[in-house]
Amino acid sequence: MSVDAKEAAQPRHSPLGRAGLGSDGVALLVGAEVGSTRFRGSGGAPQAPASRHVATTGIAHHRRRCAVIAPWWQCVPSPAPRRSRCARHRREPAVGGGGYTGVVPVTRPALLDVRRLWAEPGALDSPRGQQVRERFPEAEVIAVDSHWAIPELHGNEGNLQRWVRVKAEDLVVGTKKSIATRVNGRSADFIAPSTSNGCAMACVYCYVPRRKGFANPIAVFTNIDKITAHLRRHVAKQGPKTEPNQCDPHAWVYDLGENSDCSVDALVSDNVTDLIATFRDLPTAKASFATKYVNRDLLAADPQGRTRIRFSLMPHADARQLDVRTTPIAERIAAIDDFVAAGYEVHLNFSPVVLRAGWIPDWTELLQHLDQVLSKETKRQAACEVIMLTHNAGLHEVNLGWHPRAEDVLWRPDLQEVKTSQNGQVNVRYDRATKARAVATLTALIDRYTPWLPIRYAF
């Protein structure tokens, strides 16, 4: 190949410039140039691009090349409610490099092979409990006093060797005792009472197992009627939203899946579709949940613009190692346009951002792919959130028992410091200087390669 041909084969815009690699394998951003941002050495503070102002919390979004500061929602027209158009069986071609090529399959992986139902007293007696039982008729029913304290699951250290099997084969059925809504203020205005806890997927960084010991299967709550009634009362009490914020300019946003993945929960019962139907009838509120699983049955739920799905995305190389049992990144991306067409508001959740050798070019490739394949309609209503990795010493020890390779990139004492999170847990995060540089780097990449994608917040 000639020199000219080699140069022509290179990407036209490289975000790396002369990025160096330290002994820790993480890009130090030495002289790296991204769009209009110049990073002045490993110890210097990055200069934010003129087109977008970024803070670690509560980001105000600039319309590209606009002289007037505009919040992100002023750059995103409110989608009109629309009827669902089911695309459950569609096959979408994916273009781009890395792990995003080829025809994307839409077949659902066998996440659940439930063999044991651990049931609280009365949990299977309600209509929702009976529905769960009917979905898994061959499972053995084991009576337990509490969904939270099951020694055979949460207290059994031997389950570390069966971490994934427990998630597939065990399902806990209980009732929600404390039904309360909490204030949030980041991705959502409020955290709705959970209708489940735990997950059939096995993301290595997930914070839910930090509190549950040696097993983390789904625990589904069957008193859904009390939860939806509580939500209706809570929304009515708020009245109309009079001041826009980073959660939404018009509606009160309620996060539904703080301790679970709602797309997976919908395989177990109709709790999620009941919640979608509840918010469909609440003009001042909106449901929201993040997901790493494509459940095309939800395309028929008819949300009419009142439910926001946040598809969690990361580079394919990270997901392959860290997002165990989830839908592949390429398939998540291929589903986005379909969910927009079905009446959902769809945002992107860039989370968690993991710092390791090659993270900048991998995120660049992902952003370029999104720009290439997403429809104009999707881009008009999109927004994103950026969340850097938070880890935990207890979870680190659990992971060493079943997936130690993942800890090579998650557990970085040379880059991390201790923090106390909003929920009171003592965790670890990237140290302030490293985190600030990484947030500035990724937001600059977003500004350059997906200028249509406003950032709601980053931390």
> DSSP per residue over 189-230, as a string?
SEEPPPSEES-SSEETT-SGGGGTTT----EEE--HHHHHHH
For the cut 60, the answer to whether the pLDDT of residue 332 exceeds it is yes
Q: Are strands 116-119 and 170-174 parallel, antiparallel or unpaired?
A: parallel
List, for residues 258-273, the tens digit of each pLDDT value: 999 999 999 999 999 9
Please report, for the domain that includes residue 423, its CATH number. 3.80.30.30
Residue 138 domain boundaries: 93-432
Give every CB contact of residue 107 below 8 A, 6+ residues apart in sequence: none
Flag whether 116 is in a domain: yes
Q: Does residue 192 lie within any of the structural domains?
A: yes
Does a structural domain hold residue 294? yes
Per the domain annotation, does 231 fall within a domain?
yes
Long-range pairs, 100-105, Cβ under 8 A, ≥24: 100/316, 100/329, 100/330, 100/333, 100/365, 100/366, 100/369, 101/330, 102/330, 104/328, 104/330, 104/331, 104/334, 105/331
Over residues 161-187, the mean pLDDT reads 95
Band of pLDDT at residue 98, cut at 50, 70 and 90: low
Per-residue pLDDT at 110: 82
The reply to whether 129 falls in a domain is yes
Q: What is the C-alpha to C-alpha distance for residues 333 and 346, in angstroms, rounded to an integer?
A: 11
pLDDT tens digits along 22-49: 434 444 443 333 333 322 223 333 333 3
In-domain check, residue 31: no
pLDDT for residue 31: 34
What are 401-434's pLDDT values in tens digits? Answer: 999 999 999 999 999 999 987 777 899 999 999 9
- Does 324 map to a domain? yes
> At 400, is the secondary structure helix, strand, or coil?
helix
438-457 pLDDT, tens per residue?
A: 999 999 999 999 999 999 99
In a domain, 58, yes or no: no
Q: How many domains does the chain have?
A: 1
Amino acid at 150: I
Whole-model pTM: value is 0.82
21/259: higher pLDDT: 259
